[in-house]
Structure 1
Amino acid sequence: MNPAELQQLLYKEIPITKALQVQVDNLTSNSIQLSAPFEANKNIHNTAFAGSIYTTATLAGWSLVTHLVQQHQRQGSVVLASATIRYSKPIEGDIVASCQVSDPDTIERFLKRFDSRGRGRLSLEIDVIEAGESKATMQADFAVIKKES
């Protein structure tokens, strides 16, 4: 899947992504970066809306896990199982969320569990940055449940 295909999938499967104007900026085999423009996601304080920050971070994780599942030729439904976010500073520009799975063993353990149990779980740390500085960090667990054929 390339960034344009993933963006179309987001718009189709999660319609709010279109209203938030979420863009897939970068996608590799194990990492992703999404953004949402400030003008579509600002609040009354002229900073990025916390709900948009949370949603963009969640979408970055969901998108990466969805990409990993498809890349490894599995069929499954990806859902957010749990998440906590820490907002450290206001964002006064575009919301940029990124995450990666840097340890190949993590992916292998996830796939083995998914194959043997029909479900798997990945824990991700998603950073929300502005001008190279982390402004929020989400710790999230995504569950994948095998789709019945």
Structure 2
Amino acid sequence: MNDQLNFLQTTLHSEIPLTRQMGIRVADYSGSELFVHADLAPNINIHGTAFGGSLYSICAAACWGLLHLKLMEQQVAAQIVLAEGEIKYRRPVREDILVRCSLPDSESYDRFIYRARQDRKAAITLDAEILAGNRQAVVFKGHFSSAG
């Protein structure tokens, strides 16, 4: 894992301590996508599948992490928060959890960075998904904001 991903994982575990208990680990980063992994065991429910609240939290943390990395790269010191999240549980997750979070179109991203850089109110929506058995199991849409 490179220094940037190590820093993000350390930040997640120190700033959002629940992520450590959930076994969340930063797996990979492409510049426009962030992959976050979590073991099933600490996130299991009574049915032997991933707990819905855990899936929501892991998706939210992955999206927050992607925005955090992008703001660092752009040298923008904005504080971001999840303002609203929507999730659809399409099928049970019976294996370790891997979230893929993606940036939106470049116009939305550029507008967010521009406004955040000017210390103005900025908003952006990120999408995340979890696959189970190579099929989409969870779809998450996170609406993030940065208050100027």
- Residues 105-141 of structure 1: per-residue CA shift (max 9 Å, x gap): 3221111222345221110111111232110101110
Amino acid at match of 2:98: V
Q: Determine if contact 1:129/1:135 at 8 Å carries over to the other structure.
A: yes
* Matching residue of 2:96: 94
Distance 1:111 1:126, change over 3 A: same
Mapping for residues 1-149 of structure 1, pairs under 5 Å: 2-101=4-103, 103-116=105-118, 118-146=120-148
Contact 2:88–2:139 (CA under 8 A) maintained in structure 1? yes
Which amino acid counterpart does residue 19 of structure 1 have in structure 2? Answer: Q
1:31–1:64 CA contact under 8 A, matched in 2 = yes
Instruction: Indicate if the aligned counterparts of 1:31 and 1:100 stay in contact, CA closer than 8 A.
Output: yes
Unmatched tracts of structure 2, length 5 or more = none
Aligned length: 146
Over the residues paired in the alignment, what is the CA RMSD in angstroms?
1.5
Amino acid at match of 2:29: L
Determine the C-alpha separation between the residues in 2 that align with 1:7 and 1:131: 26
Task: Specify the SS of the correspondent of 1:29.
Answer: coil
1:22 Cα deviation after fit: 0.1
SS at match of 2:79: strand
Q: Which is further off, 79-88 or 22-31?
A: 22-31
C-alpha contact (below 8 Å) 1:98/1:127 kept by paired residues: yes
Ranges in structure 1 where 5+ consecutive residues have no aligned partner: none
Distance in 2 separating the partners of 1:103 and 1:54: 23
The residue identity in structure 2 corresponding to 1:135 is A
Q: Could you tell me the TM-score, scaled by structure 2's length? A: 0.92
**Identical pairs, percent:** 26
